[in-house]
Structure 1
Amino acid sequence: MARKGRTAERQSKLEGRMRLAEHLREFKRRFYISGAAIVAAAIGGFFLAEPLLRLLSSPLAELQAAGLDVELNITNITQAFDVQMRIGFLLGIIISSPIWIWQLLAFIVPALRTIERRYVFGFIAAAVPLFIAGCATGWFVLPRIIRLFVGFTPDGFTAFLGATDYWDFSLKLVFAAGVAYTLPVVVVFLNLAGIVSGRAILGAWRWAILTATLFGAFVTPAGDVWSMFIISVPMVVLYFAAAGIALLVDRRRAKRESARVEA
Structure 2
Amino acid sequence: MNILTLLPLFLLVFVRLTCFFVTAPLWMERQIPAPFKWGSAFFISLLVVGLIQPEQMIEMDSTFILLVLKEVLVGLCLGFFTNLLLYAVQLAGGFIDLQSGFAMATMFNPQTGIQENLTGRYFYILAMLFFLSIDGHHILIRGVLTSYNWIPIDGWLPSGVSENLVQLSLMIVKDMFWIAILIAAPIVATIFLVDIALGILAKTVPQMNLFVVGIPVKMVVHFIVLFIFIPVFIIVMEKLVQTMIHSLEQMLKILGA
TM-score by length of structure 1 reads 0.31
Tell which has more relative contact order, 1 or 2 (C-alpha 8 A, sep 6+).
2
Larger radius of gyration: 1
| TM-score, reference length from structure 2 | 0.32
Task: Tell me which protein shows more helix as a share of its residues.
Answer: 1
